[in-house]
Amino acid sequence: MPYVPNTDRDREEMLETIGAASVEELLADVPVELRVEGDLDVPGPLTEPELLSHMRRLASLNRSAGDVVSFMGGGVYDHVVPAAVRKITSMAQFYTAYTPYQAEASQGTLQAIYEFQTLIARLTGLAVANASVYDGSTAAAEACIMALAATRRSKVLLAGSANPATRTVSRTYLAGAGVELVELPIKGGVTDLDALERNLPDAAAVVIEHPNFFGLLEPTSAIGELVADSGALLVASVDPISLAILAPPSAYGAAIAVGEGQSLGAPVAFGGPLLGFMATSRKHVRRLPGRIIGRTTDENGRRGYVMTLQTREQHIRRERATSNICTNQGLVALGAAVHLSLLGKEGLRELAVQIASRSHYAADALARVQGVGLRFDGPFFREFVIELPFEAARMKHELSRVGIWPGIDCGCYYGDMKNCLVVSVTEKNSREDIDSLASGIEAVIASGGRA
Amino acid sequence: MSTATTKLERPHEPTLFEQGSPGRRGFRLPPLDVPTIDLARAIGPEHLRNEPPDLPELAESEVVRHFSRLAELNHHVDRAIYPLGSCTMKYNPAVNEEAASLPGFTDLHPEADARHAQGSIALLYHLGRHLAEISGMDAVSLQPPAGASGELAGMLVVRAYHADRGRQRRKVIVPDSAHGTNPASVRLAGYEAVEIVSNAQGRVDVDELRRVVDGDTAAIMITNPNTLGVFETRIREIVDIVHEAGGLVYLDGANLNASLGIVRPGDAGCDLMHMNLHKTFSTPHGGGGPGSGPLGVKEHLADYLPFPVAARDESKAVGFEYYFDYERPRSIGRVHTAYGNFLVAVKAYAYILTLGPEGLRRVAENAILNANYLQALLEPFYDLPYAGRCQHEFVLAATRQKAGTGVRALDIAKRLLDHGLHAPTIYFPLIVKEALMIEPTETESRASLDRFAAVMKEIAREAIEEPAVVTGAPTATPVGRLDESRAAKELDVVWENG
């Protein structure tokens, strides 16, 4: 039987030790009228080669990034993943372990996550970070919950320019909290400062995304100044790679920085597993959700690591916990730590400069195409929005026939942007890719909407 | 892990931040084949960072050695028994990792059009169907990325259900043996958690439940088998009591491993539940995650599931068979950026197909057999507060040891580490003093169980004859017992160069 070592003889002898005549006798507590009659209607069993052949067939029904020239982003990005990242995250010592409940037998996981926390703190400029949450969206939602508790207020302002996923997940998370959730209108692709100011009184949190869903840089200094005197906490959802060159959230007064960390060493993987990170000041450390790893010593003064401030957490504090999170994204956080170590100070900066350079090259190339315009003129990083003479959905469909995925259709999320595409660029998009995108779009427009 | 003799010779592993050298790096990017932009001009000086973040500077070999040395410090399932109660630390099949590494799965962007994502959507759809069949639910969402997320989504479904009936209710009943995530999820969803005490058999006290349930009861959140490893034999009555009051029954499926092919929560009348793919369905725990906590519901709650829902149209009216249904006006919303931890779903799907119906039942039977066998071997040496046959796990108490020589459950746990074994879950469930909650799982061999029992027996002897050996443990691990209060008091959660 797959994965069950017991033989019939083992079973007999074990039953004898137990003092039971049969396995059936062990099930006596399960009422007979509730028992499953016959077999479950599930497929299998399959042997390993049968299984792999089935799985390969399923996988082959997908068209993946390797087969197409892709400019899909929107929070999940197709970056080069160094082989050493996969090598480390594939080590059974890491991936078959669990939450380090027994610190003395889990120092590897604990130190790696402590290092992850340090890397996130250094990127964001904030003093402390946690061991991860599920993704960037739930990180933003958890930050709102922190701010609601810290300010004892009940209003959250959420930038309408933030990723639709960030907004919809935050809305779901806050549904039970009796919270007034206000989506701030957009002006010129970024947060409307007048609307922010109007709504600011009594707000617990102001959540912005920087760069935002359109790739645009928010007026962070102005936002930071407005929020500073309001009593609300500024929550900045940031792209970790951008932080190699962009001012860190601490510089514009963010009390909490969150973000999606998938771009640090994880594949796009149909959007999961992702990696939510959270950082804050020491003042708010006791409101952070989830695991936090701390450095300490053993009885002989040797350096060691433990889960700390556990009285925040559900297994101790139950209904008064800062969050319900238990299992997090530990292995993805490990991968991010390996990834950042491999790239290092220079490498991450080079990566960010490459992304900025390639995305600007792409924006220029597309803006030159007859009939295409840049929707916004503010500064951007990685992503930008183009406006087409007809619906973006049609452009996407036509270009996919020639193996180009030109970006995300804004019309899915913004009713007045049906002709707009968010184009996303990584270091994997060569000049040739970008040129083929431009010529592809040009051809579709020239033919009146056909590839 | 090192032994007692090598421990002294090996210094601690320095952090990343104490290693490397300026200018060193471990990875080269593809060459930049477009002009480098002037950041100040293109982005604006006000947006730029003054100093680059202080990241380590290491060669690839240094990075790999650092993390490999860290890896050596971990206990893990591939090494030896890891009997954390209610965590179901079963063996993680190698072939599942291979399946989840296929580029067709790893390299597909979540915003890909459905026509280009037929394999992945089909997998989510069929895994959802299989989980529905296994649990007796009608519809399943794979979006919750962990058990606690499934609980929250479930409680929000409960909320939406009552809101649609015109009157919101206030409280959710949670037994005192429940996982901490249960009351935390209840609270997060805006409900009050009302705890009810368990009876002498460790089960829900049905008379007490009758007293507590009223028209303000939104739901009960129940774990079955519960965290004591006891099956709630009166589950039908419990369901009826809550249903008669207009409430819903949420089942915490953390312990579903004991039920595979034997009993389905849906058949017992439960309305909704989460499952843990990283427990029951063999996906690895990743040192803390990623997991996956699919939410299953009965038909009358299906409209509330998180959107989008993986769906199938065999007529291929739109040109392809599998798609995501976004038209879910009564949905609670999304609980994840995309569709949940997709690669975890791939592994669980592979596991179900490998086992088939008979294999799934064998998993449950052997999980129960292994737990009862281990309980029988350990019963003479430790107290067993809830005697009788167990399901997939059981809870011992170190009360005898504590009263005798002051040896606590914590000490026993640490002493197990000295033998290269992992400890059970300790001090949980909260209703058992000095609890040692043991779940061996079906993937442990009899020899492994015998070895664990022999070590536990030896520790019981030590607790009487040489208690200092137990209270002084561990000594064979990379570090000795760590000072947790110092960690909390002198908070150091980020390396600051010293």
| Domain end position, chosen among B55, B71, B87 | B71
- Mean pLDDT of the region A327-355: 97
Q: Are A146 and A179 in contact (CB under 8 A)?
A: no
Chain B contact probe: residue of A42, A88, A90, A179 with most B CBs at under 10 A: A42
DSSP state string for A319-374: GGSS----S--HHHHHHHHHHHHHHHHHHHHHHHHHHHHHHHHHHHHHHTSTT-EE
B237 and B132 share a domain? yes
Reported confidence tier of residue A451, pLDDT bands at 50, 70, 90: low
Domain ranges of chain A: 84-338, 344-446
- For range A420-438, the mean pLDDT: 98
Fold of A84-338: Aspartate Aminotransferase; domain 2 (3.40.640)
CA of B375 to nearest chain A CA: how many angstroms apart? 8
Same domain, B210 and B322: yes
The mean pLDDT of A298-309, rounded to a whole number, is: 95
Cα(B460)–Cα(B472) distance, integer angstroms: 15
> Per-residue pLDDT for B4 more than 70?
no
* Gap from B172 CA to chain A (nearest CA, Å): 11
| B361/A40 Cβ within 8 A | yes
CATH superfamily of A344-446: Aspartate Aminotransferase, domain 1 (3.90.1150.10)
What confidence score (pLDDT) does residue A293 get? 98
- On whether both B145 and B281 belong to a single domain, the answer is yes
Per-residue 3-state assignment (H helix, E strand, C coil) for B243-305: HHCCCEEEEEECCHHHCCCCECHHHHCCCEEEECCCCCCCCCCCCCCCCCCCEEECHHHHHHC
| pLDDT higher than 50, residue B1 | no
- B14 and B115 both lie in a single domain: no
According to the model, what pLDDT value does residue B355 have?
Answer: 98
- In a domain, residue B372? The reply is yes
> pLDDT tens-digit profile of A208-220?
999 999 999 999 9
Residue of B nearest to A210 (CA): B47
Number of alpha helices (DSSP H) and beta strands (DSSP E) in chain A:
14, 17
Cα Rg of chain A, angstroms:
25
Query: pLDDT tens for residues A39-85?
Result: 999 999 999 999 999 999 999 999 876 789 999 999 999 999 999 99
| pLDDT, tens digit (0-9, with 9 covering 90-100), for A313-324 | 888 888 888 899
Separation of CA B334 from chain center = 21
Residue A16: count of CB within 10 angstroms of its CB: 12
CATH of the domain at B197: 3.40.640.10
List all residues 6 or more positions away from A33 whose beta carbon is below 8 Å from its beta carbon.
Answer: none
Smallest CA–CA distance from A293 into chain B, residue: B493
B370 Cβ contact list (under 8 Å, min separation 6)? A6, A14, B440, B441, B442, B444, B449
pLDDT at B484 over 90: yes
Which residues are CB-contacts of A363 (< 8 A; sequence separation ≥ 6)?
A374, A380, A384, A386, A423
Q: What is the mean pLDDT of residues A355-375?
A: 98
Q: For the stretch B190-214, what's the b/e string if a residue is b when 16 or more beta carbons lie within 10 angstroms of its beta carbon?
A: bbebbebebeeebbbbeeebeebbe
Average pLDDT over residues A182-198: 98
In terms of domains, do B388 and B316 share one?
no
Contact B107, A66 (CB under 8 A): yes
Nearest to B213 by CA among B248, B168, B181, B179: B248
> Which residues span the domain enclosing B277?
95-352
Judge whether B28 lies within some domain: yes
- Specify the range with the lowest mean pLDDT, choosing from A425-429, A440-444, B318-322: B318-322
B-contacting residues in A 110-129 (Cβ below 8 Å) = 111-115, 117-119, 121-123, 125, 127-129
**Over residues B56-67, mean pLDDT:** 98
Helix, strand, or coil here: B404?
helix
**Residue ending a domain, choose from B326, B352, B378:** B352
Q: Cβ(B37)–Cβ(B29) under 8 Å?
A: no
Round to whole Å and give the CA distance between B146 and B292: 4
Mean pLDDT of B41-56: 95
Q: Which of B56, B55, B65 is nearest to B13 (CA)?
A: B65
d(CA A141, CA B149): 13
Start-to-end CA span in chain B (Å): 26
Question: Does residue B150 belong to any structural domain of this protein?
Answer: yes
Q: How confident is the model at residue A450 (pLDDT cuts 50, 70, 90)?
A: low
CA distances from B48 to A244, A251, B53 (A): 9, 10, 12
Chain B contact present for A398, CB below 8 A: no
Whether the link from the prior residue into B284 is cis, omega within 30° of 0, is no
**Residues A324, A88 contacting (CB under 8 angstroms):** no
Say if the Cβ atoms of A60 and B104 lie within 8 Å: yes
Q: Give yes or no for residue A263 having a pLDDT over 80.
A: yes
* Greater pLDDT, B4 or B474: B474
Residue with tokens 């009960």: B220
Q: Which two tokens stand for residue B222?
A: 């129940």
Where would I find the H helices in A19-161?
23-26, 48-60, 83-89, 92-95, 107-124, 136-151
The distance of B113 to chain A (nearest Cα, Å) reads 9
d(CA B212, CA B486): 42
Q: Which of B363, B364, B388, B392 is nearest to B376 (CA)?
A: B388
pLDDT of residue B6: 47
Count of structural domains within chain B: 3
Round the average pLDDT of chain B to a whole number and report it: 96
Q: In the prediction, which pLDDT does A67 show?
A: 82
Residue B130 belongs to a domain: yes
Q: Are residues B41 and B125 in the same domain?
A: no
Task: Tell me the ipTM for this assembly.
Answer: 0.98
Nearest CA in chain A to B159: A176
Residue A34 is classified by DSSP as G
Chain A residues in contact with B39 (beta carbon < 8 A): 245, 353, 356
| Cβ burial A137-165 (10 Å sphere, 16+ → b, else e) | bbbbbbbbbbbbebbebebbbbbbbbbbb
Query: Among the three residues B297, B318, B352, which one is the final residue of a domain in this structure?
Result: B352
Q: How far is CA B480 from CA A107, A188, A297, B165, B422, in A?
A: 11, 59, 9, 57, 15
Q: How far apart are alpha carbons B100 and B81 in whole angstroms?
A: 25
CATH of the domain at B399: 3.90.1150.10
CA angle, B66 then B68 then B73, to 5°: 100
In this structure, the answer to whether residues B101 and B51 fall within a common structural domain is: no
How many Å apart are CA B413 and CA A234, to the nearest integer? Answer: 43
Q: Is the peptide bond before A273 cis (omega within 30 degrees of 0)?
A: yes
Q: What is the pLDDT of residue B7?
A: 46
Average pLDDT, chain A: 96
Task: Decide if B342 and A269 are in contact by the 8 Å CB cutoff.
Answer: yes
CA atoms of B203 and A16, how far apart (whole Å): 27
Could you identify the residue written with the tokens 């771009």? Answer: A263
Same domain for B8 and B145? no
- pLDDT, position B10: 62
DSSP B54: -
Q: What is the mean pLDDT of residues B195-219?
A: 96
pLDDT tens digit string along B93-125? 999 999 999 999 999 999 999 999 999 999 999
Distance from CA of B130 to the nearest CA of A (A): 6
Show residues of chain B in contact with A36, CB under 8 Å: 261-264, 267, 361
Task: Supply the pLDDT for residue A65.
Answer: 60
State mean pLDDT over A230-246: 98
